[in-house]
């Protein structure tokens, strides 16, 4: 018997959109470089190598987010324990919407995500740097 999906990705994205603040690229650019804001890049390492990265962003692959946020996790990262605003982004804004909602549900706040993700950031001419060369 085939698996029956009761809630698809579109419904999950719509719920995340209602629950989490969504920033335009212009709003995100205004926050970029501030000491009280952490930009969290959820893309996988291959995406960073291919597309470049946002200067100063903290890289957290999407698959590690919950483990890096939870201070009880053996993988917890201190950056997520700081009293700052967290702005999540991925390539196009879908993973970051879901990730920001998850982070918010875990108690991280304030959180937001960038509408259109890194693709929109790059297209708008915002700061981008080449990813460091992969180690041989």
pLDDT, one tens digit for every residue, the chain (136 residues): 788 888 999 999 999 999 999 999 999 999 999 999 999 999 999 999 999 999 999 999 999 999 999 999 999 999 999 999 999 999 999 999 999 999 999 999 999 999 999 999 999 999 999 876 655 5
The pTM for the full model equals 0.92
The H or E element that residue 113 is part of is: strand 111-114
Look at residue 134 in the predicted model and tell me its pLDDT: 58
Q: Which among 39, 118, 37, 106 has a CA at the least distance from the CA of 76?
A: 106
CA–CA gap between residue 99 and residue 64 (Å, rounded): 11
Domains of the chain (ranges plus CATH)?
Answer: 16-123 (3.40.250.10)
Look at residue 35 in the predicted model and tell me its pLDDT: 97
Look at residue 115 in the predicted model and tell me its pLDDT: 97
45: which residues sit within 8 A by CB, 6+ positions away? 59, 61
Look at residue 6 in the predicted model and tell me its pLDDT: 86
């Amino acid at each position: 018997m085939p698996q029956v999906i009761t809630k698809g990705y579109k419904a999950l994205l719509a719920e995340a959109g209602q629950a989490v603040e969504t920033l335009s690229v212009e709003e995100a650019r205004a926050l970029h470089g501030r000491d009280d804001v952490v930009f969290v890049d959820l893309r996988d390492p291959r995406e960073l190598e291919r597309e470049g990265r946002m200067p100063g962003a903290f890289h957290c692959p999407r698959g590690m987010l919950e483990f890096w946020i939870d201070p009880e996790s053996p993988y917890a990262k201190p950056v997520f324990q700081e009293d700052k605003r967290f702005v999540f982004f991925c390539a196009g804004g879908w993973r970051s919407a879901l990730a920001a909602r998850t982070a918010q549900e875990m108690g991280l706040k304030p959180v937001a995500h960038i509408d259109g993700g890194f693709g929109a950031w790059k297209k708008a001419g915002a700061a981008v740097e080449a990813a460091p060369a992969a180690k041989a």
